[in-house]
C-alpha cells in the first residue's frame, strides 16, 4: 500500500486559490523576522542563518547530531500481547527509512538532514510522494519522501477550508532555461515536524538562531575579534605621532591607508618606513592579556549548551577523563539524541503510518549501537543476562550483529550452567555455579 492520502482534489485546490491572504511574505526578507524581535544583537552582530552556520561550534554539533541519527537502524513494529513486539521489515515506511526514501537520496542522507533541520531550524519538511511518482523510489511501489530545505519555505497560511497550505520557493536552479515556479502543498501532502519553542501562532517552530540570538552574537563577535587580531599581525594597533600637519584631509587619509595596508595581510612581517617625522607608539594588549582563548572557549561552551551537546564530542577534552567520557557519551544519547529521535518517531506515526487504525503499529530508532560499551563490559552484561535467563544466545548474537545459531538451543533462555538448561547438559556444583557451598547427594545418589 502507499503511504499517502489521496491528492488534493480540484475543488479543494479551487478553494485554496480563492483564498487570498494578501501578498505572500518572503521569509528571507529581514523585515519578516523583525516581527519576531529582529536579528541585530547588542554585540552589534547581525545574526543570520549564514553567519551562525559558519561557527565551528555549530558545525561540530551539526556533524555530531546528524551522524548519530543517521547511524541508527529504524523500523516499524507491531505491538503484541504482554509487551511483545514484532519488527516489520517489509512495511512500506520501514523500507523508506531502510532502503530508498526517494529516487536520489539514501536513508542516511535524508535522516541526517531531517535531524539537523529539526534541531537548527526547528522545522523539517518532506513532500509526500504517491506511488508511481517519478521522484519516488523505483524499487518499491510505496511512494516516497522528497526533502525540502526549510529556507525554501515562503509562507504558510490557513485556508478557508481549515487546512494549512505551505508554499515553497523553487531551488536556485534553472531547468532547460526556464525558472522553476513556487510549489504549494496541503498539510496532508507534506510531512512537517515542528520542534519547541513554537512561534506564537503555533504553526512553525522558531529557529534556534532567533530564540538564542544573543548567544550566537557573542560567539560570532568573539571569533571575529580573534580573526582580526591574527590578520593584524597579532597586535592591537597603536598611535601615530605627527610633528606637523597634513596638507589636507585627503593627504592624511592616504597616509593612514598606506600605513595600514603595509602592515596587514601578506605584508604583516615586512619592515615599514616612517616619514614626515612620524613616530609609532604600539598599544600592547597581548592575546593572553585579552584572555582571547578563554573567551572563545566560553562562547563555544554556551553554544554547545543550547543543544546539551557534550564538550568531549567536539574535542574539548580539558575536563574529560577515561572515567567520565563514557558517562558523557551516555548523557549525549539520553539528553541530546533521544529527544530528537522521539520527535521524528512521533512525526512518522502521526503522518505516515496510515494503516494504523488499531494503534498497534509504532516506529522506532534502535539506540543499542550508541549505548554499547567496551567489549569487556558488554560481555559481562551478556553473561548477567544469560545467567539471569532474560537473554538467549541468539539475542546476544543479534546485539553483536552476528548470525544466530541454527540449533534449537539458540533461542533457549535457560541458564546453560544449570542442570535444567536445554540440551540436558550436566549440572554444576554449587561452588562453580553459585559461588560457594558444597553439593550433597539426594536419595537417588545424584547431586541436586
- Tens digits of per-residue pLDDT, 73-82? 899 999 888 7
Residue 175: is its pLDDT beyond 50? yes
Give 191's strand partners: 126
Task: Name the residue with higher pLDDT: 260 or 43.
Answer: 260
Residue 305: is its pLDDT beyond 60? yes
Q: Looking at residues 93-116, what average pLDDT do you find?
A: 90
Out of 30-34, 113-117, 229-233, 325-329, the most confident range is 113-117
Q: pTM for the complete prediction?
A: 0.70
Task: Name the residue with higher pLDDT: 66 or 229.
Answer: 66
3-state helix, strand, coil in the chain (%, to 5): 40, 15, 45
Nearest-angstrom CA–CA distance, 70 and 107? 8
Q: Looking at residues 229-240, what average pLDDT do you find?
A: 67
Residue 284: is its pLDDT beyond 60? yes
Give 155's strand partners: 167
Nearest-angstrom CA–CA distance, 30 and 48? 9
Task: Name the residue with higher pLDDT: 435 or 334.
Answer: 334
Residue 346: is its pLDDT beyond 80? yes
At residue 330, the pLDDT reads: 78
Give DSSP secondary structure letters for 333-380: IIIIIHHHHHHHHHHHHHHT-TT-TTS-EEEEE--HHHH---HHHHHH
386: closest CA among 430, 433, 426? 433
pLDDT tier at 339, thresholds 50, 70, 90: very high
Q: Looking at residues 357-369, what average pLDDT do you find?
A: 86
In the chain, pLDDT over 90 holds for what percent of residues?
29
Q: Mean pLDDT, the chain, as a whole number?
A: 77
| Three-state SS annotation for 163-220 | CEEEEECCCCCEECCEECCCEEEEHHHEEEEECCCECCCCCCECCHHHHCHHHHHHHH
At residue 222, the pLDDT reads: 87
- Summarised one tens digit per residue, pLDDT across range 130-155 is 877 777 655 444 578 999 999 999 99
pLDDT tier at 439, thresholds 50, 70, 90: very low
At residue 302, the pLDDT reads: 92
Nearest-angstrom CA–CA distance, 285 and 232? 13
For residue 67, give the DSSP letter: H
pLDDT tier at 237, thresholds 50, 70, 90: low
At residue 114, the pLDDT reads: 95
Task: Name the residue with higher pLDDT: 206 or 329.
Answer: 206
Nearest-angstrom CA–CA distance, 74 and 98? 7
Task: Name the residue with higher pLDDT: 96 or 325.
Answer: 96
Q: Looking at residues 383-399, what average pLDDT do you find?
A: 85
pLDDT tier at 19, thresholds 50, 70, 90: very low
Choice among 22-36, 166-180, 263-277 with the minimum mean pLDDT: 22-36
- Preceding amide of 301 cis, omega within 30: no
Task: Name the residue with higher pLDDT: 425 or 128.
Answer: 128
At residue 440, the pLDDT reads: 46
Q: Looking at residues 34-38, what average pLDDT do you find?
A: 43
For residue 121, give the DSSP letter: I
pLDDT tier at 177, thresholds 50, 70, 90: low
291: closest CA among 244, 225, 342, 247? 225
At residue 404, the pLDDT reads: 83
In the chain, pLDDT over 70 holds for what percent of residues?
71
Backbone angles phi, psi at 253, to 5 degrees: -65, -35
Residue 197: is its pLDDT beyond 90? yes
Task: Name the residue with higher pLDDT: 433 or 3.
Answer: 3
Q: Which residue is associated with the grid cell 522545522?
A: 123
Choice among 38-42, 154-158, 194-198 with the minimum mean pLDDT: 38-42
Nearest-angstrom CA–CA distance, 312 and 324? 10
At residue 13, the pLDDT reads: 42
Amino acid at each position: 500500500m502507499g503511504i499517502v492520502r489521496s491528492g488534493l482534489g480540484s475543488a479543494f485546490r479551487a478553494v485554496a486559490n480563492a483564498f487570498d491572504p494578501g501578498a505572500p511574505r518572503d521569509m528571507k526578507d529581514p523585515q519578516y523576522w523583525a516581527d519576531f524581535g529582529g536579528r541585530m544583537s547588542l554585540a552589534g552582530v547581525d545574526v543570520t542563518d549564514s553567519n551562525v552556520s559558519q561557527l565551528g561550534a555549530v558545525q561540530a554539533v551539526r556533524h555530531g547530531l546528524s551522524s548519530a541519527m543517521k547511524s541508527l537502524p529504524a523500523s516499524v513494529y507491531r505491538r503484541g500481547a504482554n509487551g511483545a513486539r514484532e519488527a516489520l521489515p517489509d512495511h512500506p515506511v520501514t523500507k523508506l527509512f531502510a532502503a530508498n526514501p526517494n529516487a536520489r537520496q539514501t536513508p542516511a542522507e535524508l535522516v541526517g538532514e531531517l535531524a539537523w533541520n529539526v534541531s537548527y531550524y526547528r522545522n523539517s519538511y518532506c513532500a509526500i510522494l504517491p506511488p508511481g511518482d517519478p521522484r519516488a523510489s523505483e524499487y518499491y511501489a510505496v511512494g516516497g519522501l522528497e526533502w525540502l530545505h526549510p529556507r525554501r519555505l515562503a509562507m504558510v497560511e490557513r485556508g478557508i477550508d481549515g487546512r494549512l497550505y505551505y508554499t515553497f520557493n523553487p531551488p536556485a536552479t534553472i531547468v532547460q532555461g526556464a525558472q522553476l515556479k513556487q510549489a504549494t502543498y496541503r498539510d496532508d501532502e507534506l510531512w512537517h515536524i515542528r520542534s519547541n519553542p513554537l512561534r506564537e501562532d503555533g504553526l512553525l517552530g522558531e529557529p534556534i538562531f532567533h530564540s538564542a540570538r544573543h548567544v550566537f552574537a557573542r560567539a560570532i563577535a568573539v571569533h571575529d575579534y580573534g580573526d582580526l587580531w591574527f590578520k593584524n599581525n597579532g597586535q592591537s594597533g597603536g598611535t601615530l605621532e605627527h610633528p606637523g600637519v597634513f596638507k589636507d584631509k585627503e593627504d592624511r587619509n592616504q597616509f593612514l591607508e598606506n600605513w595600514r595596508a603595509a602592515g596587514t595581510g601578506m605584508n604583516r612581517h615586512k619592515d615599514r618606513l616612517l616619514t614626515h617625522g612620524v613616530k609609532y607608539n604600539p598599544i600592547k594588549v597581548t592575546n593572553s592579556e585579552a584572555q582571547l582563548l578563554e573567551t572563545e572557549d566560553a562562547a563555544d561552551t554556551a553554544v554547545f549548551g543550547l543543544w546539551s551537546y557534550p564538550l568531549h564530542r567536539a574535542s574539548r577534552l580539558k575536563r574529560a577523563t577515561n572515567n567520565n567520557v563514557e558517562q558523557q557519551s551516555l548523557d549525549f544519547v539520553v539528553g541530546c539524541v533521544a529527544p530528537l529521535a522521539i520527535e521524528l518517531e512521533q512525526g512518522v506515526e502521526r503522518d505516515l503510518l496510515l494503516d494504523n487504525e488499531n494503534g498497534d503499529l509504532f516506529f522506532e530508532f534502535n539506540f543499542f549501537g550508541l549505548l554499547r560499551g567496551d567489549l569487556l563490559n558488554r560481555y559481562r552484561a551478556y553473561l548477567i543476562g544469560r545467567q539471569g535467563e532474560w537473554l538467549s544466545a541468539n539475542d546476544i548474537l543479534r546485539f553483536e550483529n552476528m548470525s544466530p545459531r541454527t540449533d534449537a538451543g539458540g533461542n533457549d533462555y535457560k541458564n546453560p550452567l544449570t542442570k535444567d538448561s536445554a540440551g540436558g547438559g550436566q549440572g554444576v556444583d554449587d561452588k562453580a555455579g553459585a559461588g560457594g557451598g558444597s553439593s550433597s547427594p539426594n536419595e537417588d545418589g545424584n547431586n541436586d
